[in-house]
Structure 1
Amino acid sequence: MNRIVPTLFALVLVVAAPLLRAQALPTQTIDGIVAVVEEDVILRSELDRAVSNIRNRFVDRPEQLPPPEVLEKQVLERLIAQRLQLQRAAAAGVRISDAELEQTISRIVQQQNVSLDQLRAQLARDGVTYEEFRSQLRDELTVNRMQQTFVQSRVAVSDTEIDILLARDSEAGSEVRLGYLLVALPDGATPEQIDAARTKIEGVRGLIERGEMDFSAAAIRYSDHQTALEGGDMGWRAIDEIPPLFANILPTMQPGEVSQPLRGPSGYSLVRLIEKRDDSAPQTVTEYHARGIMVRITELLDADKAKAKIDAARARIVGGEDFAVVAREVSDDTISRNQGGDMGWFQVNAWGTAVANQMMALSDGEVSEPFQSEVGWHIVERIGTREQDVTVEARRNKARETIAKRKADEEYDRFLRQLRAEAYIDNRLAPPAPLPSAPATPTG
């Protein structure tokens, strides 16, 4: 069986560093504390488990991992960042219910095409109990929800912004996959810190340019960004989702090329253009025109009586009565009833799954058999279909998402830096020893 990886939530099992609580640890182990985060602690055993999960990901390519002490530092930073976010989420009242958690697990097993028993078996082989997995997944969902809430409260996109983007976007539909490596600078960095960061980023680029290390391995070893342990891979992004600092240099770059060091608000960066693709072809969708009658199930009209009523309505229509007359008399759908049941033109899922299934099965002019949805019993008549060009609408929707994503990334990155700056953090992990290197080569 293929390895089970719940990709929906950032590979929470084998990719994201797990946050195993003290009570889930073997009681016979005497744990040391590697970090204090406000009033919480991160234990040595938690860090060891998280590092072990990362090593499992690179079992076939261990040479890409940094030295053990550097890897520990990176993983601990990720644990600290996640713990801070969980603490803020708890203070804000963000909670994930047991029902939501179970629904998420159901989606994971469906997407991975495995059973729950198979998932449990894979977890056991990875040395993770099912309860630990649930706890990790709940934490991941909690952080995701807090991020969504934060972004919704901070990010707005106006029609004017969309118009400006579409007017100046000479590469509409273009998307790029980027690698990103950051040497971070603190707020109010001193000249000495700036010089050290610039020397380090130049040394990293030198390693890559000389072929001593590929970009992914360099990001894993040296990047201070949250994508470090993914080799800096930021995935596919629309051109305008990318900060202008990076977007402005991309037109001159070829796939595989690495930028010169760039100074931004977070520090010094390198960007690698991995791939580029174009998705600007015209977009069309099938739209349906239909009429419908719905008999609602209520406390006074149970499912059997509703079914009998819709059967009678269909019999009248098949017998020759006008659909619109019967709809105005019988239908409980207040949206379409006054139009004689006319539902207008719509995309297939606009009226729900039950109606969608009928639309795809019927021919033009055909009246369906009675069918049930979550609200009642229905009949529909498919009047016609058409192919509708939605390119303009799709471009505007994509532009809105692009602007929102870019703003969200910037706002949340700023929020995380502020969160860490204001928190009490006692990192008790010994700093990594400097790595031997040539002049101008980074030292970790």
Structure 2
Amino acid sequence: MLAGSLLAAAAVAQNAVPPAATPQGAAPQGGLNLPSNPQFFGDTDPSVRKATAIVNSEIITGTDVDHRMALLVMANQGRTISPEDMKRLRAQTLRNLVDESLQIQAAKASEIEVTKAEIDRYFERYAQSTGQTGAQMTAFLAQNNSSVQTVKRQIEAEIAWSRLQGREIEPFVNVSEEEVKAMIDRLNASKGQPEYSVSEIYLPIQGGNDAEVEQSANAIAAQIAQGAPFQVAAQRFSQASTAARGGSLGWVKADQLPAELSEAVRSLPVGQISRPIKIAGGYSIVRVDDSRQVLTSDPRDAVLSLLQMSLSFPKGMTRDQASGKVAELAKVSQEMGGCGGAQAAAQRIGAELVSNDTTRVRDLPPALQNMILALDVGQATTPFGSVEDGVRVLVLCGRDDPSQAATPSFDQVYAQLSEQRVNLRAQRYLRDLRRDAVVEYR
């Protein structure tokens, strides 16, 4: 399946502009007369500014930044963030809040209204998706040094920006029938070639703050490497239009991306993130969520019927002490005669059974995917897990293999091409808002 890439389109637009002549002794900066070794008058550390700002007369307070930062701390689930990373992430958070203000202000200038009732309904749905009521979520945020106001502000910005794009951008984006047919032809011609499900975090360079943005990108990448959810980090920090959907670019071929990202995507194992990569206009962190071959059925799309047989151990038991029971689990699962004998076998060794008939291979951890694909019906995996969390095996009871992959429909390709162009124009629109804004940092 094809998905539009904002980064790929932005790179094409960037490369389409002929380079300006570079004055002697100056760095090539698109026509700017900049010396290669600038001498500064005053403090060169932009981070000395306090984390407050006035955006076209709208005030962003230090408390606003504190509450948004608390969301990141919660997403880290107790993992330590170094003081240096906190400083860099705080600066990035302030930049994001400035952009949110610009988006909300632009929507209001176009007489687009986002009502309090709409924001409240969206917040209630968000709370329900976490298993809480709105009141419970509000209390939870307050207990963790954040606030319901900061979440609702982000909700307002997302709704306002989406509606502004619908009014000011989408009506002026055209995709011809010929373009759609040409893309379908290219898809058919590339059948069997690899494509990747990719997510991104994109931080733009603004006003020459290259080093500051690079430091922020490194801090974000470090937190993700320590276990912070990529999707949450993308929603909090990414300045691409994909941020609202957790940074997802969808399925792309590597050559649709800028060369720097293309190389990273081809080399990254599924589930891994890249280091911050400098591309035209900013820095990008990418993660490969999945991979497959274009228009080719993938064994990992098979739907499995599985039995999980698991053993739990008393608190404090060591791995050596549990090894006998683990060996017994392995032996029993291989000799029980498949799923039909699982119940009796589980009772003999005191194991617990759980069944699932709708698991796709690709939804399993990568290491288990390869093992499951090598099993015949009735066979079991090698035991896995830990003494603390329990040791288990998966028994394959059945498998429904996927049908042949189909070429995406005309409407699907049309929608994806349209989205790509809307995303690119939205990024330019936000860039223009930044350029024209009066932003005073305090």
| TM-score for both structures, normalised by structure 1 | 0.48
Higher relative contact order (CA 8 A, sep 6+): 2
